[in-house]
Chain A
Amino acid sequence: MNALRRNVLKGATGAGAVAVAVAAGLITPTRVLAGAPRSAFEAKNLADAMKGMGLPPATDSKDITIKAPDIAENGAVVPVEVTSSIAGTSAIAIIAEKNNTPLVADFEFSGGAQGYVSTRIKMGSTALVRAIVTAGGKTYQAAKEVKVTIGGCGG
C-alpha cells in the first residue's frame, strides 16, 4: 500500500508533484503561499520580521502547539507542524530565530479553515522555532527549541 502510494506520487504530474516539491523545500514558501510582503522575508531579525508583517508584539498562547524534533536529524529539512486551536485563526507564520532571515513561512487561512500547517524548514543553527498566529485581529505566539548539532560520538 505504501509502496504503491509512493510510486503513484513518483509518476504523478500536476498537483501531487507540486505538493511533494513544497514538502521537500524545493519551492520556497515565498513563491507559493506568502501572505507577508517580501520585506518581511528579507528581515534580518525577529523584530524586523514582525514589523515587516505589520504585526504587533505577540502574546504567549497555550493554544498553539508546535511539533518539531528536539534535535534536528538534518538542519536542511526540519519538519515543523503548527496547530492553532485559537478561534478565527487567519494566519500562521513560522520563524527560525537564528536564521539569517528568520521568517521562514507565512500561511493565510480563509473561510474557517483549520489552523494547521505542516512543512519543512531550513535551520542554520540551534534556535527557537516560533509560531506567530493571527486570530481576530490579535497576535499570539508559541516557541520550541530545535537543536542543530554537529553529530557523531553517540554511545
Chain B
Amino acid sequence: MMTRREFLQVLAAAAATGFALDSKSALAGKAPPGYYDVPAFGNCSLMHITDCHAQLLPIYFREPNVNLGVGEAVGKVPHLVGDHLLKHYNIPKNSIDAHAFTYLDFEAASRTYGKVGGFAHLKTLVDKVRSSRPGSLLLDGGDTWQGSATALWTNAQDMVDACIALGVNVMTPHWEMTYGAQRVQEIVNNDFKKAGVDFVAQNVVTNDFGDQVFKPYVMKNINGVQVAIIGQAFPYTPIANPRYMVPDWSFGIRDDSMQKFVDEARAKGAAVVVVLSHNGMDVDLKMASRVTGIDAIFGGHTHDGVPQPVEVKNAKGVTLVTNAGSNGKFLGVLDFDVQGGKVKGWKYRLLPVFSNLLAADAGMEALIKKIRAPYEDKLNEKLAVTEGVLYRRGNFNGTYDQMICDALMKVKGADAAFSPGFRWGTSLLSGDVITMERLMDQVAITYPATTLNEMTGKTIHTIMEDVCDNLFNADPYYQQGGDMVRVGGIQYTIDPNKTIGKRITNMEIRGKKIDPNKTYKVAGWAPVGEGVTGAPIWDVVAEYLRDTKVIKPVKLNQPNVLGMKGNPGMA
C-alpha cells in the first residue's frame, strides 16, 4: 500500500511533467506558420461546432483506432483510422494535423502539441474567422449541454451562457433532451429567445397529433443570400436515452418531412439549403442519397473528425456531408460562393483547435472562471494517478471504460460489468492525475444510477447482440451511432458482418464458457428505464479510485474480431 506521502510525490511529479511538456516553448517550430490563416472564399460562410460535450476548458482527446465500417461503408469515410485516414486525405505523418485527426503517437504528440479545445480559445478562432467573413453564422450541432461536471451541476446553464457568449446562431439537440423536455423548452423560450439563438429540429413532433415541437428550420440572410438551416435532432433519442425524459415527443429520421421542408424553403427563395444534423455520419450519408435539394449536411453525433466533406450524389444533384469531431476539438468552416441564386463553388476546412496556438479570449475566460468558481474544490479533488493513457473512443472498448468496468465489478462484487458505448469523454496521459472533474467527463449524466442484476447467460448474450446491431446493422438507418457496450469480465468473439443474434460467439465469463441457463451477477450503469435506483456511477468509481490511488496500465478486454482483416477502420 502506498503511503499518503508517496502518493503526494507521485502527484507532484505528474504535475511537473505535464507542465514542462505542455509549455509553449516545446512547440517551437512544430506548428506550420499561418496555421489559422484561412483565406476567405465566396460570399456565404457557415461555421460549425458539434458534440463539444460541455468541455469549456482545453482537454486531451484521443481519436479511435477502431472505427469499423460494415455493409456499403467498408473502407469509406468516416471508417478510416490512423495511417489509412492520413493517406486518404494526404496528411503528412507526424504532422500537427496527423495528431488532430488520428490516434497515432497519441501520447507523445499530445505532449508536443498540448491540449485541444476550450471555449476561450475557440472563441478567439470563431472571432478570427468571422472577422474575415462578415455575416457568417455559427451552427451548433448539439451534445453541447452534457458531458461535464459543471454542465450537470448547473443544469446546463453554464453551456447555455457560454454558447450565447461564443456567438452560436442556430442549434439542434440530442443529449440536451436528457435534462427533460421542460428544461429544454425553458432554455429555448427564455435564454435562447432573448439572445436570438434559433433551436431547430424538423424531426421532433408531438406523439398525439404529430405537430412540430420546435421550428423545423430557419431562414437567414447572409450578405444578401437566403440560407435555410434545417434542424435534424438525434433520431433515436427516446431509445438510446431515457424515454421518460421526453414522454410526449416522437423523433425518428423522417426523410419525407425533411424533403418537404427542403422544398418549402426552396419555394420561399432559399438559394442555399443546409441541414444541421445529429443523425451520425452514416445516416447523413444515406439521407443525402435519398433527399434532394440539400447543399450541405453539417453532421455530428458519431464524433468523426472528417477533414473534407463527402460529396454524395442523388437524383437531383450533389450534397456535401461533413462531420466535425467532438469535445471542442474542431471548428468547421464552409464557404459558399453563391451567384445568381445558385451555389457556384465551395471550400471547407475543419480547423483543429489547439489551445497553445490560440490566445484565450479574455471575456470567455472570465465567464468560465465565474462558472467554475463555486465548484473548484469539488472539481479539483485528486482521486488517483494513472500510469497509462486513459481514453474512451473505439468501437469495442477504451482504457477508461475498462477501468470503470473494473471499478463496478470490484465495488459491486459482480461477475461481470457493462458500461455504455458512449463516444464522449476526455483522455488522460500517463502520469496524469484523475481529478473528480476528469472522472465526471466520463460519467456526468442525468440518469447515473448503478445497478447489480442477476442475468442468465442467455440474457447477457441477447443484450450484447442487441447493442451490437445498433452499431453494425448493414443499414445505417438502423444504427444508433454509439459504440459497442463495454464489458468487464466477459470475453467474446465477434463477427460484425453477421446479422443480429449471430455476431457474438465463444462467450466466456471469468475465463469459463458462458452457461446460457446459469445466473450471473452483472453490474452496470445508466439505466434508461424509469424508477431505477442505485448509487451514482461517480460515487462508485471515485471510491475505487481513492482506494486504488495508482491506476496501473489497464488491460483492454479486446474481443476476437472476425471478418475484418484488411478493413481500414481497424489499425
Contacts and interface: CB of A to CB of B under 8 A. Distances in A.
B238 interface: yes
Nearest to B252: A69
Given A2-B211, A73-B238, A155 B463 contact: no
Interface in B437-483: 462-463, 466-467, 469-470, 475, 477-478, 480-483
Contacts of A60: none
Interface string A6-45: 1000000000000010010000000000000000000000
Contacts, number: 83
A59 interface: no
Nearest to A118: B210
Nearest to A72: B239
Interface of B: 206, 208-209, 211, 234, 236-241, 243, 250-253, 256, 280, 301-303, 420-424, 462-463, 466-467, 469-470, 475, 477-478, 480-483, 485, 500, 526-528
A98 interface: no
Given A126-B500, A150-B463, A151-B240, A5 B209 contact: yes
Contact of B239 (A23, A79, A126, A149): A149
A74 B207 CA distance: 11
B475 to A, nearest CB: 8
Interface of A: 2, 5-6, 20, 23, 67, 69-74, 79, 126, 147, 149-155
A70 B526 contact: no
- Chain A interface SS verdict (over half): loop
A153 B251 contact: no
B421 A155 contact: yes
B239 A70 contact: no
6 contacts: A79-B250, A150-B467, A154-B237, A154-B480, A154-B482, A155-B301
Contacts of B240: 151-155
A143 B267 CA distance: 34
Given A67-B256, A151-B239, A155-B482, 19 more contacts: A70-B252, A70-B478, A71-B239, A71-B480, A72-B239, A147-B478, A149-B239, A150-B467, A153-B480, A153-B485, A154-B234, A154-B240, A154-B241, A154-B481, A154-B482, A155-B240, A155-B302, A155-B422, A155-B481
Nearest 10 Cβ contacts at the A-B interface: A154-B240, A155-B482, A153-B420, A155-B481, A152-B528, A73-B238, A155-B423, A154-B482, A150-B466, A70-B477
Contacts of A6: 208-209
Nearest to B300: A155
